[in-house]
Amino acid sequence: MPRGLGSRLWLISVSSPLLSLQGPLERVYRAALALGTANQLTNILRDVGEDLETRNRIYVPLEDLAEYGITEKDLTTGMYSKANGRIDDRWRRFMQFQIARARQLFADAEAGVDLLDEKARWPVWSALILYRQILDAIEKNDYDNFTKRAYVPKSKKLASLPVAYFKAMAPQLNPGYQKAMATQ
């Protein structure tokens, strides 16, 4: 699981405006780390084809690839069949696992967003919602991140901002809020 620079940078970016918390710092820290890791994993999943083609790099966890019977050579020679226009079923299962992992990390992150200072919640909710939409786009592309780029149209991004703002301004209405407050 990636827990590198991206996670730490995200933690720094969300912790800088934390002038006051509504909950324990440890819970906010864990949530920020989960969100940074989820965002980093989402970027890695979105960019598999581009990273292979332009950088000759593989950032997805090799041990996870092995669990699905995928080798580095399989990735470099292609998991997409031009003959039938289909993604290899092993890749599809691998991506389903990784997307489920990222979604769980996003869910873990939600537990701490509402504990942030009011000024910090909207940008964090925005990032959480927008990055989840990248995962949706990967699924919509039938897990083909070799020949298709998963992206979220600008109109959908803009439409998500009021949702993020509402979640930020009314944390008591978010499903995880009561649970988070009860376990302080």
pTM: 0.82
Residue range 15-47, pLDDT digits in tens? 555 445 556 678 888 888 999 999 999 999 999
Q: At 180, is the pLDDT very low, low, confident or very high (cuts 50, 70, 90)?
A: low
CB atoms within 10 A of CB 103: 14
Q: Quick check: 181 pLDDT over 70?
A: no
Task: Identify the residue with better confidence: 80 or 8.
Answer: 80
Phi, psi of 86 (to 5 degrees): -115, 150
The H-or-E segment that residue 46 falls in is: helix 25-46
Task: Identify the residue with better confidence: 48 or 183.
Answer: 48
Euclidean distance between CA atoms 133 and 146, whole angstroms: 18
Share of the chain above pLDDT 90, in %: 58
Distance from first CA to last CA of the chain, Å, rounded? 28
Euclidean distance between CA atoms 63 and 109, whole angstroms: 25
Q: DSSP string spanning 50-69? A: HIIIII----S-HHHHHHTT
Residue range 119-151, pLDDT digits in tens? 888 999 999 999 999 999 999 999 999 989 999
The H-or-E segment that residue 40 falls in is: helix 25-46
Q: Quick check: 177 pLDDT over 80?
A: no
Residue range 44-89, pLDDT digits in tens? 999 999 999 999 999 999 999 999 999 999 998 878 777 787 899 9
The first and second tokens of residue 167, run together, are 């979640």
Q: How far is CA 184 from CA 15, 28, 58, 89, 130, in A?
A: 19, 11, 40, 44, 28
Q: At 1, is the pLDDT very low, low, confident or very high (cuts 50, 70, 90)?
A: very low
